[in-house]
Structure 1
């Protein structure tokens, strides 16, 4: 597996950051390269909620079905793929005050074995780095705007 870890301070409470990331409708706004992210069934949050996702990383088009495997209100959201491209991702929200928190985002992904898998890994690696940078910038900015109330009325 390849691990990508982001640790960033955000001008928002841990509660606001959790609330923003927990709303699956926000994912396409902050996750760079995401083509779609849709619920599978009626459950849209909490343990067991499932989603179908499609992301473009350069020339690679990757699909996965993920399930929420960790959900601790205002602290942690974790997902793991149950079908398709293998991914395991966790967001942790650490309070530092009413208007400040630290967000840890840990993403592990695995490409298939063999020649095709190694080729895919080499193809997507530079795009993963770009995606992480853009996603971090987007996420921190959008959570801060949400916390200040700029996005609450649009839902």
Structure 2
């Protein structure tokens, strides 16, 4: 299992950051390489919500069906794959004031075993590093802009 962790301060409240990330429609603009993220069924947030996602990392397209496995309003969102590419993503929102929070974004993924899995791992590794850099930049910039629209 490969683990990628992003810890960033963001000029927004934890509530604003949570609200932005919790809206699945925002994820393709935050997560670099995410081409689609659509709900499966009527539930589109909270514990038990299920989504189909497609991510492009360089020449490789990966698909997963994920389920929200932990969800605490304004504090935590965790999704875990239940089908397809094995991935788990967790976002933790730490309040630091009315307009400041720290966001922990932890992504864990596993490539299949054998030669094909090793080749896939080597192929996507540089693209994962690039995606993490762009995702970090997108995450803090977009949440900060969203927070400004929510202020009275």
Same topology, TM > 0.5: yes
5+ long unaligned stretches in structure 2: none
Deviations 1:108-141 (A, max 9, x none): 0000000000000000000000000001100100
Q: Please state if 1:24 is matched with 2:24.
A: yes
Runs of 4+ that moved beyond 6 A:
none
Deviations 1:19-60 (A, max 9, x none): 000000000111111111100000000010000000000011
The equivalent residue for 2:40 is 40
Deviation at 1:64, TM superposition (A): 0.3
Aligned counterparts, 1:3-152, within 5 A = 3-149=3-149
Aligned partners of 2:87 and 2:11: how far apart in 1?
28
Please report the TM-score for the alignment, with normalisation by the length of structure 2. 0.98
5+ long unaligned stretches in structure 1: none
Deviations 1:45-78 (A, max 9, x none): 0010000000000011000000000100000000
Q: CA RMSD in A?
A: 1.1
Please report the TM-score for the alignment, with normalisation by the length of structure 1. 0.96
